[in-house]
Amino acid sequence: MRVDPKYHRHFVARRGEVLHQIADQYGGVMISFPRAGVPSDKVVLKGSKDCVEGAKLRIEEIVQDLESMITIECVIPQKLHRTVMGAKGFKVQGITQEFDVQIKFPERENSNNGEEEEHVNGDGANRPCDIIRITGKKENCEEAKQALLDLMPVTIEVNVAYEYHRSIIGQKGRDVREMMEKYDVHIVLSPADQKLDIIKISGTPACVAKAKEAVEERCKQLEEDRADRQLRSYELKVKFDLVFILTLLRVI
């Protein structure tokens, strides 16, 4: 069969991983691609007739997929790349597997003046170090791009009365640490000398939304507890003339 040489690398890369998968799927058929540097598009398949036909069709399907592949750009400021990638690239690996795409991050570039201009997805002049390239089927690339953008951290402010901050922090910061770990966010409370009624939450939009809901629920509980304490400490004083008090004492 004939296979355009520009696609040969896909089949023989990583010690022929794709060829091994096809061979396992179709009865151990032997597939031979031209050696590197040989200008030929001829691919030889050996095996039983049914296995050879099945392997040939599979190779043709893969070539069709490769022909339909495109590369698009996703612009995210370089300083956010590590956050988007996650620990050891965990988050990006999940996206590549979910959408069957390849994602290539650029080489890191040091800023000359220590400041980075933030341009996202074509807004302004994009620096090469901000451009992430996604390769795959068009619809998959677009979905993967959106998934990357959804990993960009945001910071919101939540109105929380300063008097509740200590309760949210918990003993030695235990409660706020547990919340940050649970929702994968960073929470900053007001400095003690400013006593602001604001809490800042940073993280991905989805995580921030969940953390915000948890903080608001905690505030609601604290308000209910305070209202309950006020009810329990309610006191009513009634003033009586001394003559009525003496009368009551006689009755008792």
Domain end residue (candidates: 15, 34, 67): 67
Residue entry with tokens 């170090």: 129
Q: Does the pLDDT of residue 116 top 70, yes or no?
A: no
Q: What's 15's domain CATH number?
A: 3.30.1370.10
Give the residue among 142, 139, 222, 153 at the shortest CA–CA distance from 186: 153
- 57 and 85 share one domain: no
Amino acid at the residue 48:
S
- 47 and 93 share one domain: no
- 143 and 123 share one domain: yes
- Structurally, how many domains does the chain consist of? 3
Farthest-apart Cα atoms in the chain, separation: 121
Residue 237 lies in a domain: no
Domain interval for residue 177: 154-232
Q: Does the pLDDT of residue 111 top 70, yes or no?
A: no
Supply the mean pLDDT for the chain: 88
Residue 244 lies in a domain: no
Q: Which residues, other chains included, contact 210 with Cβ-Cβ below 8 Å and sequence gap of 6+?
A: 183
Residue 4's pLDDT is 94
Residue 250 lies in a domain: no
Residue 77 lies in a domain: yes
- 92 and 47 share one domain: no
The model's pLDDT over 60-106, given as tens digits with 9 standing for 90+, comes to 999 998 898 899 999 999 989 988 998 888 999 999 999 999 999 99
Q: What is the reported pTM?
A: 0.60
Residue 180's pLDDT is 93
- 77 and 145 share one domain: yes
Percentage, residues of the chain above pLDDT 90:
65
Residue 238 lies in a domain: no
Percentage, residues of the chain above pLDDT 70:
93
Residue 114's pLDDT is 47
| Stronger pLDDT, 238 or 210, i.e. the higher one | 210
Min mean pLDDT across 12-16, 20-24, 113-117, 170-174 is at 113-117
- 96 and 127 share one domain: yes
- 158 and 228 share one domain: yes
Domain end residue (candidates: 97, 114, 149): 149
Domain end residue (candidates: 149, 174, 193): 149
